[in-house]
Amino acid sequence: MSYPYQLTTLDAYHDAYRRSVADPEEFWADIAENFLWKKKWDKVLEWNFTEPKIEWFKGGKLNITENCIDRHLELKADDPAIIWEPNNPEERTRIVTYARLHKRVCQFAQVLKNNGVKKGDRVCIYMGMVPELAYAVLGCARIGAIHSVIFGGFSAQSIADRLEDAQATFIVTCDGAYRGGKDIPLKSIIDDALIGNKTIQRVIVYTRTRTPVSMIKGRDVWWEDEMEFAETQVEREGVVSFPAEEMDAEDPLFILYTSGSTGKPKGVVHTCAGYMIWTNYTFVNVFQYTPGEVHFCTADIGWITGHSYIVYGPLSAGGTSLMFEGIPTWPDAGRFWDIVQKHKVNILYTAPTAIRSLMGFGLEPIDGKNLSSLRVLGTVGEPINEEAWHWYNENIGHKNCPVVDTWWQTETAGTLISNLAGVTPSKPSWATLPLPGVQPLLVDENGKEVTEKDEHGYYNGNLCIKAPWPGILRTTYGDHERCRTNYFATYPGLYFTGDGCLKDENGNYRITGRVDDVLNVSGHRIGTAEVENAINMHSGVVESAVVGYPHDIKGQGIYAYVIVNHKHGDDDLTKRDINQTVSRIIGAIAKPDKIQFVSGLPKTRSGKIMRRILRKIAEGESGNLGDTSTLLDPGIVEEIRSGKL
C-alpha cells in the first residue's frame, strides 16, 4: 500500500476514528512518521481553547516543500506533478514533472532571496491560474516567507486592506489573467492598490497576457529576468538545489483572508506541520487517492480549496494535480468534460454552484464525451441540493463513482466531515461522518448539547468541534484576540464553526448553512457587514441592510435594502452606481443581485436592525414575519414587503 494510513475499509475507518479520540497524540504521531522531518517533534499536542493555544508537533523541524517535492524525486522525477490546462483550449498544455517543479521552485526561492525576501516576511501573491502561481507559493514556503494569496477577483481596495493588515513587503503578480472571454489587468489593479502603500519594496511581474503595464523603476521587476538571472547564478555557484529553510512545526506557512460577520476580513493563519499533515491525510483518505491518478480540483488557488487540494495535499502525496486556468462555461459548457477526456481525469472535485450552472445547459455538452476515466466525484463549498447531487452522480459519474460531499472551512485547512470515497456510505446532500480526529458537537444557543430530536427525527443545532485536529487555524494575523472572540468565545471550550447542522441517528451530519451574518454566494464567503460598508460608501446612500436569499445557481444571492437621499438619474442608474461602488470596494463577486430602495429599515427601539424580518421578506416568506411589536415603526414592514423584488 502506498499510504500506510489510507483507510480502505469501513472497519478501518471506525477503528481509526476510535483510536484518534482515545489517544490523539499516539494516533497523529504514527501518521507524522510518514513525513520528512529535519528533526522529530518533542511533543505531539499541547492545547487549550481558552486563549486559544494550539501547538502540534512542537519542536519538530521540517520544510513542507521537501515533503511536496524533494522526497518524490528519487522515484517520480519524471512523473507529472502539475498538468496545466490553459484558458484557451487551442493553446498548448503544460506538463510540470516533479524534477521540473523542483527546479522552478528552487529557482524562484533564489529570486525571492535575491530580492531581499527573508523568512517570516509576508509575500502577497495576486496571479491568475498559471503554474508560476504554484512556483511562487512553494518558493515562499521553501525560504520560509509567509504567503498571502489574494483571489484575482478582489478589487484594488481589498488588496490594499490586506497588504496593510499583513504588513506585506513583496508582491508577485502577472501582467494580466485570462478567465473565459475576459482579460483581467492584474498588474494595473496592483498599481492602484499600491497608491499610498508604505511597506511594499518589490513587485515581481510574470508575463501572461502581454497587456501593457507600467513598470516602476526601483520597485517593479520582471519574473522572466529574475528567473533567468537566478538560473545562471545556480550554474555559476554550482548549486543544484536551493536549500529548504528549516522551519519550526508551528512557524506560520501562510495567511489567507476570509470574511466574517464584521466588516473587515481576517487573516487566517496556518502553520507548517499541522497543515501539511491534515491536507495530506484528508486528500489520501477522502478521495482514496492512488499514485498515478489525475486529480482535478476546479477551485482557484486564491481560495483555501486550491491551497489544500491543488497544491499542498496532492503534491505532498506525490500525486498529479490538474490546474485549470479558465472557467467551466468557456468556450462552451462542455469544457470540464473535454478536460476530463483529454487528461483522463480520475478525480473531479468541484462546487455545487458549478454543477447547478452546468445542469442548466442540459445533457448536450456531455454528449459523446468519454468520462470513463472518472473514479471519484467530489463537492465542496456549500450545501449540495439533492437534485444537483443526483445529476452529478448519474450524468457525470454514471453511478459508478462515489460522490464525496466534503464539509470544511478556510479555518480548518482541509475536510472535517465527509464520506470516504467507496469506503464509507454516501447520503445525498449529507456530508456524513467526521474524519478521524474530528469531534463534532451540536449545541443550542446556550451552548448546551442538543440531546432531543426535532419533529423530523434529527438533532438540530449549531456545529462546534470539541478538540483540535492538526489543521485547525492557530490565530488571525496580528490580532489573536479576534481569533478568540470569533471562534472560541461563543461557546466556551468549543471551536464554533458558524454553521447550522443536522445529525441523524446513525451519526451522519448535514450542514444547513451559516447561522451568522455570513453569506455563501457561489461557494464564496461574503460578510453582510462588508457589503453594507461598501454600499454605504456611495455618496447617495444613507443606510443599507444586506441579507441572503435562495438563488437557483449561486446557492445564495445578495439582497440589499437601501435608503438613498439622492438618486443620480433614474432608479436603474443609481442601482448600477451602487453596484459599481461595491465592485470598487470589494470586487464584482460581492455585487448585490437585488437592490430595493426603501424609506426606512425595521429597527428595534434600541436601533438594532431586525434582519430576521428582512431575510424572510427576501426569501419570499413574508406571510409569517413573527413578532414585529418591538419595532420602532411597524409600518415600515408593510412598505418593504409590498416593494419586494
Question: Which amino acid does the sequence have at 543?
Answer: E
Collapsed DSSP state (helix, strand, coil) of residue 140:
helix
Classify residue 70 by its DSSP letter: G
Q: Which is nearer to ligand WT7, 106 or 276 (CB)?
A: 276
Q: At its nearest, how many Å lie between ligand WT7 and the CB of residue 516? A: 9
Closest CA to 408 of 250, 553, 268, 282: 282
Spatial contact of 81 and 97, defined as CB atoms under 8 Å apart: yes
SS3 assignment, position 89: coil
Contacts with ligand WT7, residue ranges (CB under 6 A) = 258, 304-305, 380-383, 405-410, 431, 497-499, 511, 513-514, 520, 523, 525
Indicate the residue among 135 and 303 with the shorter CB distance to ligand WT7.
Answer: 303
- Written as nine digits, the cell of 342 is 483529454
Torsion of CA 475, 478, 480, 482, to 10 degrees: -100
Of 84 and 408, which CB lies nearer to ligand WT7 in the complex structure?
408
CB 420 within 8 A of CB 288: yes
SS3 category, 172: strand
What is the nearest approach in angstroms of ligand WT7 to the Cβ of residue 260?
10
CB of 406 to ligand WT7, least distance (A): 5
CB 289 within 8 A of CB 497: no
Identity of the residue, 514 or 591, whose beta carbon is nearer to ligand WT7 in the bound complex: 514
Complex with ligand WT7: residue 155 or 462, whichever CB lies closer: 462
Please state, in angstroms and rounded to a whole number, the distance separating the CA atoms of residues 38 and 246.
Answer: 7
User: How many CB atoms neighbour CB 181 within 10 A?
Assistant: 11
In the complex, what is the shortest distance from the CB of residue 418 to ligand WT7, in angstroms, rounded to a whole number? 7
Least CB distance to ligand WT7 at residue 431 (A): 5
Q: How far apart are CB 407 and ligand WT7 at their closest, in Å?
A: 4
Give residues with Cβ within 8 angstroms of 77, minimum separation 6: 97, 98, 99
How far apart are alpha carbons 623 and 78 in whole angstroms?
64
Compare residues 170 and 254 and give the one whose CB is closer to ligand WT7: 254
Q: Count each helix (H run) and each strand (E run) in the chain, helices first.
A: 20, 30
Q: Torsion angle, CA of 145/294/337/126, rounded to 10 degrees?
A: 10
**Peptide linkage before 52 cis (omega within 30 of 0):** yes
**Among residues 385 and 536, whose Cβ is nearest to ligand WT7?**
385
> CB of residue 416 vs ligand WT7: minimum separation in angstroms?
9
Helix (H, G, I), strand (E, B) or coil at 397: coil
Is 2 exposed, middle or buried, given 0-12, 13-18 or 19+ CB atoms closer than 10 A? exposed
Considering beta carbons, is residue 494 or 562 the nearer one to ligand WT7? Answer: 494
CB of 430 to ligand WT7, least distance (A): 9
Q: CB 277 → ligand WT7: shortest distance, Å?
A: 18
Return the biggest CA–CA distance within the chain: 80
**Which residue number, 406 or 460, has a Cβ lying nearer to ligand WT7?**
406
Q: How far is the CB of 321 from ligand WT7 (least distance, A)?
A: 16
Location of C-alpha cell 448539547: 449
Which grid coordinates belong to 472? 485547525
Amino acid at 450: V
d(CA 316, CA 470): 15
Between 526 and 582, name the residue whose CB sits nearer to ligand WT7: 526
Cβ(501)–Cβ(463) below 8 Å: yes
Cβ-based nearer residue to ligand WT7, 586 or 595: 586
Residue whose C-alpha is closest to residue 376's, from 426, 310, 327: 426
